[in-house]
Amino acid sequence: MDIQDLGALPRQIDEAFTKFPAIDAVIVNAGVQILLDYTADNASTIGYPTTADITKEITTNLTGPTVLARCVIEHFRVSRPSQASLLAFVTSGLGLVPVTMLPIYCATKSALHYFTVILRNQLKNTAISVVEILPPYVKTELDVAHADEMAKRLGGKKPQGMPVKEYVASVVRGLEVTEMDGKIQKYVAEGMPRAAVEAWVQAVGPMARMLHTDL
């Protein structure tokens, strides 16, 4: 489905659950990454932040996934009111440790990270496991349009990405790990993203608990 077509998402989710009523897991993997440079002074400059690019990135990375969450949760409540189900979101380590060339991408992935945390807390007394998946650098088409420029601006070579099949296998293994409450572990991550999320939980966790929020 086209996650930017917000008005069509409820109908398309309805159709998916009608066709496959036994769905018990949904992983929201939508994402677009655009190099944007707010120092660029005209549209002909590399990275000029056009309104279309800004809107596309926010809609794809944040608005669409949050609308999808509502639609999926409503179906889980009807089809699996007391049976275990999974709702997972693919965020990014760059949502916790940002890089300057990707301002909207980092901001939206950070927002989706916090949305996932809050949603997990809101659904803690349900059978729905809300999981955040934070990938390392994986070989995909996500950055194909600007990988060389990114490497140039970072002063080095392009990083060696993990093959998609290898990463997917690691995610499947991560989704098999459960916690004391029987739900799937909160974070499926490795490498830099794992270190980042663990550091964040350790640093912010005590303050979050004062607000009755479990990280």
Give me the domain span that covers residue 15.
Answer: 6-210
For residue 153, what is the domain's CATH number? 3.40.50.720
Q: Count of H helices and E strands in the chain? A: 7, 4
d(CA 144, CA 108): 19
What DSSP string describes 117-179? HHHHHHTTTSSEEEEEEE--SB-SSTTTTTHHHHHHHTTSPPP-PBPHHHHHHHHHHHTT-B-
**1, part of any domain:** no
Counting as low any pLDDT under 70, the low residues of the chain are none
Read off the pLDDT of residues 187-215 as tens digits, 9 standing for 90 and up: 999 999 999 999 999 999 999 999 999 99
What does the CA dihedral 83, 172, 31, 203 come to, rounded to 10 degrees?
A: 90
User: pTM here?
Assistant: 0.94
* Count of domains for the chain: 1
DSSP 8-state assignment for residue 13: H
Beta-bridge partners for 94: none
Residues 17 and 23: beta-carbon distance below 8 Å: yes
For position 105, what pLDDT does the model report?
98
pLDDT of residue 4: 96
Element (H, E) at 189: strand 187-189
On whether residue 215 sits in a domain, the answer given is no
Per-residue pLDDT at 156: 76
Residue 125 lies in a domain: yes
